[in-house]
């Protein structure tokens, strides 16, 4: 029965809401809703992601270029 309601709710989502829902569903396995609109994940899941590593490298380049 809940699958039926999930399908109906997905039909009423805007494109932006659907994009956010898809991003949340494909993200970290440790995600947990702890309150109204509050989502938590473990630090290790974030820091071990490829996106985080890429951003860390870019930030390092920016900081080192400003120090010279």
Structural domain of 55: 2-67
With 0-12 / 13-18 / 19 or more C-beta atoms within 10 angstroms meaning exposed / middle / buried, residue 36 is exposed
The Cβ of residue 61 has, within 10 Å, a number of other Cβ atoms equal to 10
Residue 13: what pLDDT?
78
pLDDT of 14-66, one tens digit each? Answer: 888 888 777 777 766 777 778 887 878 888 888 888 889 999 999 999 999 98
Match 């870019």 to its residue by tokens.
58
Mean pLDDT of the chain: 80
Report the b/e string of 13-26 with b at 16+ CB within 10 A: eeeeeeeeeeeeee
1 pLDDT above the threshold of 80: no
5 pLDDT above the threshold of 70: no
Match 């991003």 to its residue by tokens.
23
């Amino acid at each position: 029965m809940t699958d039926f309601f999930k399908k109906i709710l997905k039909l009423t989502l805007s494109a932006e809401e659907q994009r956010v829902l898809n991003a949340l569903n494909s993200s970290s396995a440790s995600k947990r809703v702890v309150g109204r609109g509050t989502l938590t994940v473990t630090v290790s899941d974030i820091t071990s992601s490829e996106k985080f590593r890429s951003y860390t490298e870019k930030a390092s380049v920016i900081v080192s270029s400003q120090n010279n």
